[in-house]
Homo-oligomer: A and B are copies of this chain.
Amino acid sequence: MLEDNMYPTDRISLRELSLRDGLQMTKTYPSTDDKIKLIQMMYEAGVTHFEVGSFLPVKMFPQFADIRTLIAFVADLPNAYTTALTLNERAMDDALETPLDEMVIALSATEEHCQANIKRSRDSAVGLIRTAVEKRKASSWNPMIASAISVSFGCSISGDVDPDDVLELAMKCAEAGADQIAIADTVGFAGPKQVHELSKMVVSHLGDLPIVVHLHDTRGTGIANAYAALDAGVRVLDGTLGGLGGCPFAPGATGNVSFEDLVYLCERSGLRTGIDLEKLIEARNFLPTILPGEQLYGAISKAGTPTRITWRGSYQWPGQDF
């Protein structure tokens, strides 16, 4: 069923993407058992939202071959949710045979990046959302349908992106039936002022839907951008443990924003995440054992949380009542 509780409106939701975005460029990938152990460790730390892969041809993308096993595993965990990329109709059909909680349809803010990334025009990608809605009707499963707009803050192929264009595209996605909108800084170009501006625009026009901001930390602004998004009213953020990952179609993109640093940012700012940071760092420190040789990032796992002070701030955000 369509998950009404997946993104509560009265609290923040942090989504962990290491088993999807994190595995797009790694030299090796973990065994299914190790992936499940990683999910289990994160879940025990309080993580509830897992992106577990992409429905892609197994021969070309063997790192996602076990996606059905991971979806089934998380489906048995109380109050835990899975998301996965479904980039075409075949992927949707496959996804709709599983208890996946959210199908993610990726498109791009620019025509050039859309073609390069998913071999479709933006209009065709919006059409995929309508197709997904139809397919869901005919299915016994009822996942959320999300649209993720890549390069929303600047495109590595065609350059500057007008925030009005992103908003227009986001509104088209919503009209086509998307239950959720993500705006993504796929190539790490965004600065916090820009993130604040676009986030505020999208929240103000489409705030009835969960609005996600997906960030990379390529140029050191990842956590600042996350803070700007929260300050603009965004309540869903993406990250990966250890900042694992990047995008094969985004030259120079090195690392998602660190999930554990996002947790620290939120808690330090008075936003409860429900995540135990010490336990989460244990899960983070498990990563190098299952992905040897991969570069990891992030500060809080090295420095530890502040001692002697009440670092889970009592600051309240405007409108916050939890």
Residues B268 and A194 in contact, CB atoms below 8 Å apart: yes
Residues of B within 8 A of A156 (CB): 307-308
CA distance A202 to B305 in the complex (A): 26
Interface-lining segment among A32-40, A170-178, A215-223:
A215-223
Residues B261 and A194 in contact, CB atoms below 8 Å apart: no
Find residues 186-222 in chain A having any chain B CB closer than 8 Å to their own CB: 187-189, 191-194, 197, 217-221
Residues B189 and A265 in contact, CB atoms below 8 Å apart: no
Check A221/B264 contact, CB under 8 A, given A154-B306, A189-B306, A252-B303.
Answer: yes
Q: Which residues of A contact B (CB under 8 A)?
A: 154-161, 187-189, 191-194, 197, 217-221, 223-224, 226-228, 252, 254, 258, 261, 264-265, 268-270, 298-300, 302-311, 313, 315, 317
Residues of B within 8 A of A298 (CB): 220
Residues of B within 8 A of A252 (CB): 303-304, 307
Q: Which of B254, B258, B307 contacts A220 (CB 8 A)?
A: B258
Name the prevailing secondary structure of the A interface residues.
loop
CA distance A317 to B308 in the complex (A): 36
* 16 residue pairs bridging A and B, Cβ less than 8 Å apart: A154-B309, A156-B308, A157-B308, A160-B308, A189-B306, A191-B265, A192-B268, A193-B227, A193-B317, A194-B315, A219-B261, A219-B264, A219-B299, A220-B258, A220-B261, A220-B298
Residues A308 and B218 in contact, CB atoms below 8 Å apart: no
Residues A218 and B303 in contact, CB atoms below 8 Å apart: yes
| Closest B residue to A218 using CB positions | B303
CA distance A297 to B224 in the complex (A): 17
Check A191/B269 contact, CB under 8 A, given A157-B308, A309-B155.
Answer: yes
Residues of B within 8 A of A299 (CB): 217-221
Q: Which of A197, A219, A221, A299 has the most CB of B within 10 A?
A: A219
Q: Which of A159, A160, A192, A304 has the most CB of B within 10 A?
A: A192
Residues of B within 8 A of A219 (CB): 261, 264, 268, 299-300, 303, 305-306
